[in-house]
Amino acid sequence: MFSSLPTRPGFSAYQDVNATTAIQGASPHKLVSLLYATLASEIARARGALARGDVPEKCRAIGKAVRIVDEGLKAPLDMQRGGAIAENLHDLYDYIVHRLTLANVRNDDALLAECARLTQTLRDGWDGIADQVQPPIAAAA
């Protein structure tokens, strides 16, 4: 049902250019949105690999998803100033990492589906506040 991305020479470089272009000049809000999108993509990739029996790809995708949660979403939380919201997000991110790890060990698509649903809920909520976030003021040229 799902095919893997092409592995033609230069395709990876094209993806890198697209990623770099999306990140440059992005607001902090947009960067978190991109992390949620990439997390969702990696979970979907893991589910596809699991369905195909492609264990190395499943492990790679889940490993990348765990790093996105741990290093991209959880690590920057300001636990001092973030209050209950930061604490709750921290706990939810820990839960997602735990479920991703179990899904990897058990080859359990239901656990990956749960992580996908949680990620989508977080993503929808984050994207829903986009109009309430002020973009940074550009410096005059």
* Alpha carbon distance 88, 49 (integer Å): 31
pTM: 0.79
User: Is 72 exposed, middle or buried, given 0-12, 13-18 or 19+ CB atoms closer than 10 A?
Assistant: middle
Task: Provide the pLDDT for residue 17.
Answer: 41
pLDDT at 16: 47
- Domain residue limits, the chain: 28-131
pLDDT value of residue 7: 45
* Contacts with 8 (C-beta within 8 Å, 6 or more apart), sequence order: none
pLDDT of residue 136: 53
AA letter at 113 = A
Per-residue pLDDT for the chain (141 aa), expressed as one digit of tens each? Answer: 333 444 444 434 434 444 454 566 678 889 999 999 999 999 999 999 999 999 999 999 999 999 999 999 999 999 999 999 999 999 999 999 999 999 999 999 999 999 999 999 999 999 999 889 766 555 444
Contact residues for 81 (Cβ-Cβ < 8 A; gap 6+): none
In whole angstroms, how far apart are CA 139 and each of 50, 136? 47, 9
Rg (Cα) of the chain, in Å, rounded?
17
Residue 23, classified by CB atoms within 10 Å of its CB into exposed (0-12), middle (13-18) or buried (19+), is: exposed
CATH 1.20.120.450 fits 28-131, yes or no: no
